Structure 1
Amino acid sequence: MKLRFLFSLLLGATLAASAQGGYQDGVDNYNAGRPDVAKAILTNTLNDAGTDKAVSYFYLGSIAFDEGNLAEAKNNFDKGVANNAQYPYNYIGQGEVALKNGNKGEAERMFKQAMDLNKKNTAVMIGVARAYFNVNPTAYAKDIDKLIAKALKESKNTEAAVYVLQGDMQAKTDPGEAAGKYEMAIVQDQGKNKVNREAYVKYANTYFHVNPKFAIDKLVELNDLEPNSALAQRELAEKYYANDQFGSACLQYGKYVANPNHFPSDEARYAGLLYSAGEYNKSIEWADKILASDPNNFYMYRVIMLDKSALKDWAGAEEAGKNLFSHPDAQLIANDYVLYADALSQMNKADEAVAIYEKAIELNPDKADLLPKLSAVYDRAGQNEKAVEIYKKYLDMGNGTTNDLFSMARRYQGLARSLEKDTPERAEAAKEGLKYIDMAIAKVNDNGFLYATKGQLLLTLNNDKPDAAMAQAYEDMLKCFDADPSKKADRASYYTAAYYLLGAYYTDVDKAKAIQYFNDYLTLHPDDEAVKQMVASLSE
């Protein structure tokens, strides 16, 4: 089972407290559209020796602005100016806040102050244009266009920031055109021997839903240019995952977590990805490693339960489920209940499994496929009436494959056999089972197992006395099974029952047939003296 939502289940894990790449990792993550990660990094590296605080304050202010927290945004921009009055972008941030507050005059004054620091800096011009775009792209369209035109003219069309902004302006409405702009930004910076990580990532994010291969190829190119970039490695891994290329995603994420600049929180995502890629044992190794340093990481108990369930290590799955469900901070989801109940059921802890399945159904009343699981637990626990009741509810909801109908018939067979012979209740249960097995046969008329179950139900209905209807069902079974003689050994128990019961039925109807079937039985059980005596008696 590949869980598309698995990564989202891991996002609640605490963000990394720091990044070995320093504040620049925060900048890159902001530009890559990961503001939460960026904020954590920028905040926790703010006082590092190598941090350019003016830059960090600008991006922290930008994150606050994007969140709608203008007071916090202004506070960060003010700190940035106080830290380095020659860094222009915090003035742009102050102007952006003023513009958002309706004070265009104050905004223009701050924008001018930023551009006056270096009148030929076309990237700063585009920073101002972006501020106008962030506040209201429609109301300030003329201001934006004017600044873009000026930046293009003065840079002789080489300012990459222009094309990134233009791409952002078109990303939602025309991803193809936006990708073209990001490509232009990449090309212009390549001419200056620069790698524009922001443009590469935005190209991939924007164009992925149009052409996943092109988007992935662009990130492969970025990885080739910057093979040690944690950002490049992570972005490529995530795109592989989103494109269902789980093997490639797993390999790429492995490279990423081996990078000293990876975030510890992403190790949890890697453990989850290993599960999705079918690398269950390796996933368990990583989950155990994470729990060794972070024993309160309940997400890892979830991953281990998934892995152990996939490996059919039910004892291990039960233990992981117990750890998850007993964790005081665990944020349980419906699938947790299903997996834990499955494990309990497989460990023959029926009462506990029933309680957990019922909770899963309560959380997912429309998830009909949980009902057969609950029915199966009741069946294994010998609670035949309850097993039938739950399965009937499942089928009455309009569900029902051939296998479901077959399972329902077997439930009724189990119920009928548990009731006293010669009782109306036993007969009614057998008749209900026959109704469902006939429905299954109507769908698939060449399945010997269906006819075998029909024969069992007819025998039960007739209080274990073979009759013509039962004989016909078993002969239909033999006809189906005999079409594939290579599997006769695997189906020996079915042949044994059919030969014996058909011999018993035909004893009073057709002695020659009875002898034939008993002899067929003896080919499987040559030492059965009682049957040998019956054959001898019939042959007299």
Structure 2
Amino acid sequence: MNKFKIFSLAVVASASVAKAQDIKEAKKAIDAEQFQKAKSLLKSIIKAKPSDGEANFVLGNIYLNESVVDSAKIYYLNGLEASDNKNLNYIGLGQLDLDQKNTAAAQANFGLATKDMKRKDVEEFIYIGRAYINSENPDYNNAIAVLKRALALEPQNATALLAIGDAYYGANNQNDAYKAYRDAFTADPTLLRAKMQLGVLLKGAKSYDEAIKSFNEVIALDANYGPVYRELAETYYKWARNKPSTAKVNLQNAITNYEKYLSLTDYSLDSKMRHADFLILVKDYKKLEEVANKMIAEDKVNPRIFRYLGYAAYENGNADVAIKSIEDFIKVPTNKVIGRDYLYLGLSKIKKGTNAEGVVDPAAFDAGFADIKKAIELEPLVVEELADFGKALFGKKQYTQAAAIFQLGANNAESKNYLDDSVYYGISVYYGNAGKTAETRDKVALQNADATFDKILVASPTYDEAYVYKGRINSLLDKDDMIIKNYTEYVTKMTAKGAEEIAKPATTKKIIESYNAIGAAYANTDKAKAVEYFNKTLALDPTNSYASQSVKALK
């Protein structure tokens, strides 16, 4: 489903022939994602007509969509006291139950909502379907089942077709979703969201150029339909991510279209928050920090603003602001903390402890690393965002810290960076111990690195460099048998590739390293073998002083 939930209040048709114009206007504003305007209209309706249960329900749904659960519940409960359409509010309470994973209570509330329905009513079924779709714990199968009940009564109900299309999409049933969206738009050519969703399907299939054509068809019908520009923005962003060669142009297109989207909303705090979310996606952190500070000036209450400010401040080099902002967000018990919050907090602490030469204070690293581990506990795949940071540490020869970062990725086979992180982890451990005396080497880490290269060879059997690093690591562990085994395996692999491979300078250098290491490993137990391998080195490099001196010493 779309990252932005559309609860389609704007397009749920009423069974009643005569509906207040203000309710229609409010629903139209919701479909345009002008939520502040919709709230104002609905509050005016409730003030003028407290008996309007639907207005309370619709307003409660807006608050629930914005994750303001307390306000949502207040309006649902108020709606139950109304005389008109009060039963709809049981559906709102049912979605709150679904969010709490209390399915039995949700179904009980849905039962109360439907028990007095007239034979041909469908509105309640559509709203219940939406509740199942929009819950924090979506149940697409139940949504489909209840929406089919609506369509059994009204097969051409465009709203029900749109809703079931969203349910099919959420259930990864692209074919039925396409048919439902197409049929919804055929049934009601003014239902632009159904037409737009056809483009969303193409975007999800990574057919970005076709998706853009589809969205432009919506714009041709109504150039002021704001949500389509949000979809265009996300499409250009994803295209940029999936095809880096297009990144510069497509990211700018993404930003331009999102700004167009904002211009067609009411610039409410909620729309600005969505803008902030998008700025994080496109990594425009300077703009994000500017937007976050403006939002704080407008609304010092909403805690998510501190999340945005923290992220932006870190990316812009303001570690102190980042730490304070994120800690202010995390410390509030009612805030929904995500892994990325701890990730940025940890990185900010490390950045604060980094001197002008790029060297990290060990205590600062440990404090930050503890938060990074919390991030991964909450969201395991957040580890994918640490690769560049690990490589920066590696480039500054801070191998112990780099190894700690890369090990996090090496421990998660589901990460897209699993192999790369595993290799860097093993190499970092090796270099972090290579200059140490035998007594001070971290043998546990070396043994783990050796085992990691074994896993790499299982996942990527053609990565022959692993044998070289296994040989080097076992040299640090003084394991002569494993030195011989791994370097021999490397030489065998290279020899099998033929003379052209062996003649490459980089390969020749590693073969010489292999022969010398094998010779040294044999030196204490089999002098003849040792001399044999040192002579192999000299055959490739007659001036190799280590090999020639070793031969003399062994004779």
Q: TM-score, normalised by structure 2?
A: 0.53
Corresponding residue of 1:417: 434
Larger Cα Rg: Structure 1 or Structure 2?
A: 1
- Name the residue aligned to 1:49: none
1:287 equivalent in alignment to 2:255: yes
Question: Measured at CA, do residues 232 and 395 of structure 1 come closer, stay the same or move farther in structure 2, by a change above 3 Å?
Answer: closer
The structure-2 alpha-carbon separation of the partners of 1:61 and 1:45, relative to structure 1 and needing over 3 Å to count, comes to closer
Aligned pairs (5 A) from 1:58-137:
60=55, 62-64=57-59, 67=72, 68-69=74-75, 94-96=83-85, 137=111
- Corresponding residue SS for 2:226: coil
Deviation at 1:437, TM superposition (A): 1.4
Question: Which runs of 5 or more structure 2 residues have no equivalent in the other structure?
Answer: 7-21, 43-47, 62-71, 91-106, 133-141, 287-310, 330-336, 521-526
Q: Does the aligned pair in 2 maintain the 1:378–1:384 contact within 8 Å? A: yes
Q: Partner amino acid for 2:340? A: N
Residue 261 (1) aligns with residue 261 (2): no
Letter in 2 for 1:321: E
Looking at structure 1, the residues matched to 193 and 318 of structure 2 have their Cα atoms a distance apart, in angstroms, of 32
- Give the letter aligned to residue 382 of structure 1: K
Please name the residue that 1:221 is paired with: 183
Residue 234 of structure 1 contacts residue 253 of structure 1 at CA under 8 Å; is this kept in 2? yes
Change (3 A) 1:60 1:439: closer
Which residue identity lines up with residue 263 of structure 1 in the other structure? G
Partner of 2:165: 204
Q: SS where residue 154 of structure 2 aligns?
A: helix
**1:213 to partner: Cα distance:** 1.9
Instruction: For structure 1, list consecutive stretches of 5 or more residues without a partner in the other structure.
Output: 12-21, 47-52, 76-92, 102-132, 149-160, 188-195, 309-316, 523-528
* Aligned-pair CA distance for 1:495: 3.0
Tell me how far 1:381 sits from its aligned partner.
3.5
1:335 paired with 2:329, answer no
- Distance of aligned partners of 1:170 and 1:320 in 2 relative to their CA distance in 1, 3 Å threshold: closer
Q: Is 1:453 matched with 2:453? A: no
Q: Tell me how far 1:302 sits from its aligned partner.
A: 0.4
User: 1:232 aligned to 2:194?
Assistant: yes
Q: 1:477 aligns with which of 476, 483, 490?
A: 490
- Give the counterpart of 2:151 among 182, 202, 215: 182
Report the alpha carbon displacement of residue 441 of structure 1 after superposing the two structures with TM.
3.4
Residue 316 of structure 2 aligns to a residue whose secondary structure is helix
- Closer, same or farther in 2 for the Cα pair 1:414/1:238, shift >3 Å? same
User: Which whole-Å CA distance do the structure 2 matches of 1:383 and 1:455 have between them?
Assistant: 22
Describe the SS at the equivalent of 1:382.
coil
- For 1:303, the equivalent position in structure 2 comes to 281
Measured after TM superposition, the shift of residue 201 of structure 1 is: 1.7
Deviations 1:237-262 (A, max 9, x none): 45666x66664656544555674232
* 1:493 aligns to 2:506 (yes or no): yes
Of the structure 1 ranges 222-231 and 296-305, higher mean CA displacement relative to structure 2 is found in 222-231
Give how far 1:496 is off. 0.9
Tell me, yes or no, if the aligned pair for 1:240 and 1:249 is still in contact at 8 Å. yes
Whole-angstrom distance in 2 between the partners of 1:170 and 1:285: 35
CA deviation vs aligned residue, 1:300-355 (integer Å, no higher than 9, x gap): 430222999xxxxxxxx99993299869999895437758959989x995649958
Q: 1:435 to 1:216 in 2, by over 3 A?
A: closer
Is residue 379–residue 411 contact of structure 1 (8 Å, CA) maintained in 2? yes
Cα distance in 1 for residues equivalent to 2:181 and 2:408: 50
Rate the CA distance shift 1:24–1:98 in 2: closer, same or farther, 3 A: closer
Q: CA deviation at 1:450?
A: 2.0
- Matched residue type, 2:144: P
CA contact (8 A) 2:158 2:187 kept: no
Matched, 1:361 2:373: yes
| Residue aligned with 2:225, SS | coil
Deviation at 1:498, TM superposition (A): 2.1
Moved more, 325-334 or 443-452: 325-334
Residues 253, 441 of structure 1: alpha-carbon distance in 2 compared, 3 angstrom cutoff: same
Give the superposition deviation at 1:440. Answer: 3.7
**1:506–1:513 contact (8 Å) kept in structure 2:** yes
Residues 502, 517 of structure 1: 8 Å contact kept: yes
Query: In 1, Cα distance between the equivalents of 2:225 and 2:114?
Result: 40
Contact 1:452–1:494 (Cα < 8 Å) also in 2:
no
1:410 CA displacement: 2.6
Asked if the contact 1:64–1:72 (Cα under 8 Å) also holds between the matched residues in 2, the reply is no
- Separation in structure 1 between the aligned mates of residue 464 and residue 217 of structure 2, nearest angstrom: 52
> When the two structures are superposed, what TM-score results if normalisation uses the length of structure 1?
0.54
What residue number does 2:236 align with?
Answer: 274
- CA distance in structure 1 between the partners assigned to 2:490 and 2:174 by the alignment: 51
Aligned counterparts of 2:312 and 2:495: Cα–Cα separation in 1: 42
Q: Deviations over 1:441-467 (max 9, x none)?
A: 3884755222201222344456xxx97
Residues 399-452 of structure 1 deviation map (CA, whole Å, 9 limit, x = unaligned)? 9978766554433321222324xx4214x54x8525641564388475522220
Corresponding residue for residue 502 of structure 1: 515
Paired residues, number: 417
**CA displacement at 1:204 relative to structure 2:** 2.2
Cα 1:58–1:42 change in 2 (3 A) is farther
State the SS of the aligned residue for 1:286.
helix
2:232–2:257 contact (8 Å) kept in structure 1: no
Structure 1 CA distance for aligned equivalents of residues 229 and 450 of structure 2: 50
- Judge conservation of contact 1:413–1:457 (CA < 8 Å) in 2: yes
Q: Name the counterpart of 2:45.
A: none
Which residue identity lines up with residue 285 of structure 1 in the other structure? N
Describe the shift of the 1:218–1:350 C-alpha distance in structure 2 as closer, same or farther (beyond 3 A): farther
Identity fraction in percent: 9
Compute the displacement of 1:476 (Å): 1.3
| Distance verdict in 2 for CA 1:408–1:225, change over 3 Å | same
Q: Deviations over 1:115-161 (max 9, x none)?
A: xxxxxxxxxxxxxxxxxx999855984x53xx43xxxxxxxxxxxx6
Paired residues of 2:181 and 2:194 also in contact (CA < 8 A): yes
Contact 1:233 1:256 (8 Å CA) reproduced: yes
**1:497 Cα shift?**
2.9
Q: Distance in 1 between matches of 2:434 and 2:410?
A: 22
CA contact (8 A) 2:446 2:477 kept: no
How far, CA to CA, are the matches of 2:34 and 2:53 in structure 1?
12
- Determine if contact 2:199/2:212 at 8 Å carries over to the other structure: yes
Deviation at 1:97, TM superposition (A): 5.1
Higher relative contact order (CA 8 A, sep 6+): 1
Q: What amino acid sits opposite 2:225 in the alignment?
A: H
